[in-house]
Amino acid sequence: MGSKKEEDLKVRKYRLMSPGPTPVPEKILLRMADTMIHHRTPQFQGILKDVNAKMKKVFRTENPVFIFASSGTGAMEASVVNLLSRGDKVLVIRGGKFGERFSEICGAYGVEAVGYDVTWGEPADPAVVDKLLREHADVKAVYSTLCETSTGVVNDIKGIAKVVSGMGAVLVVDAVSGLTADELRTDEWGVDVVVCGSQKGLMLPPGLAFLSLSPKAEELMERSDLPKYYFDLKAARKSYKKDDTPWTPAVSLIMGLDSVLDMILEEGPDTVIDRHARLAHATREAVRAIGLEIFSKSPSNAVTSVKVPEGIDGAALVKKMRDEQGVTIAGGQAALKGKIFRIAHLGYMDEYDTIAAIAGVEIVLSQLGYDVEFGKGVARMQELLK
């Protein structure tokens, strides 16, 4: 003793509260450590058959949900290269980094993307989508995000779906961060394609991407002439019918997915969303109790975006939270760099994770010179979560 500095004696838990990746439950980690098996076996195909059935329940669709070994962007790219043809026109709702990504993918494949540029922090207006679709009657597909992770905005997908289906176009929704956090009734609302990734609400490591496909989207797919190989949905569809995959699947991640889907279905998909809503609401109220403002005008349950107060260094706040408090949150991206910080509620999260995050924010804000009365945010949260 005596020779060690105080810092060296600290046991510090690693708290991952960024909007992806997110913490992986212990029992899922153990499942993924299971013996490696061959994928062209009745054993693996049995697992895949169960997974495919359970995915439909979580995606709220009767349509197939295909699984790829890639990050979420792979499924976004698959939704472009499989539905469209050279020279096609689409409408892209751009209210942040992820909406922009759809435009960039379209650009890479020579698809004309008409942009609906939404002010960052605001949700897309279905009436504007309607107006743009009337102006561009030849639009084949509309691309939207459910939760625009870069701003913490949840979009009115139900309203957008109503407009899009009325105009005969196909609706593609990026629910990479939104699925399991924000309500999404795929078939009931008429959403044709939902894309997702493993490392957010689905509580897995990064490495899997998902895509659900409606019969209407399948029609577009039959005519698509854009180049594709790994992400060819015709190959995926052929294998899917035999509970198989065209290429080697990410066996361990799919075993983890099998157990994660059991966890979600046991808790109940609606209860999972309610839990996210409760944590997100308490976080917003706690943040306001500290005297800060919420950035999003239509806050998602997946992630809470908070304005960095005047005179405070936003990058330093995120860094001190991570390095000194052990809580990994996210800063702002692109134009929002240094202007907001983001606390996620995604996946394997409970009351005490959010209380820890708010307690840490109070400490760090005070260190950075912001006038904060300790316990104000925490107390508000305790009131709401008791």
Q: Dihedrals φ, ψ of 171, to 5°?
A: -105, 125
Q: Which range of residues in 71-79, 80-88, 230-238, 349-357 is near ligand PLP by CB under 6 A? A: 71-79
Judged by CB, which is closer to ligand PLP: 151, or 325?
A: 151
Counting residues that bind ligand PLP (by CB under 6 A) gives 12
Q: For residue 28, how many other CB atoms are within 10 A of its CB?
A: 24
Give yes or no for residue 143 binding ligand PLP (CB under 6 A): no
The span of 28-36, 123-131, 174-182, 282-290 binding ligand PLP (CB under 6 A) equals: 174-182
Residue 151 makes contact with ligand PLP by CB under 6 A? no
**30-44 burial string, b = 16+ CB within 10 Å, else e?**
ebbeeeeeebeeeeb
Closest contact distance (angstroms) between CB of 202 and ligand PLP is 11
When the beta carbons of 210 and 240 are compared against ligand PLP, the nearer one is: 210
Taking the C-alpha atoms of residue 116 and residue 124, their distance in angstroms, rounded to an integer, is: 8
Q: Does 298 bind ligand PLP (CB under 6 A)?
A: no
Report the residue number, 71 or 382, with the smaller CB distance to ligand PLP.
Answer: 71
CA angle 66, 68, 69 (to 5 degrees): 160
Could you tell me which of 310, 289, 287, 309 has the C-alpha nearest to residue 299? 287
In the complex with ligand PLP, the residue whose CB is nearer, 145 or 305, is 145
Residues 91, 353: Cα–Cα separation, whole Å: 39
73 touching ligand PLP, by CB under 6 A: yes
Residue 116 makes CB contacts below 8 A (sequence gap 6+) with 91, 92, 93, 94, 124, 128, 129, 132
Give the per-residue contact string, 233-272, with ligand PLP (x = CB under 6 A; - = no): ----------------------------------------
Q: Which residue is nearest to ligand PLP (CB)?
A: 72
Residue 145 in the binding site for ligand PLP (CB under 6 A): yes
The SS3 call for residue 249 is: coil
Instruction: Give the residue, chosen from 23, 123, 197, 299, that forms a contact with ligand PLP under the rule CB under 6 A.
Output: 197
Nearest one of 153, 108, 156, 114 to 134, comparing CA atoms: 114
One symbol per residue from 82 to 121: x for binding ligand PLP (CB under 6 A), - otherwise; what is it? ----------------x-----------------------
At position 5, the amino acid (one-letter code) is K
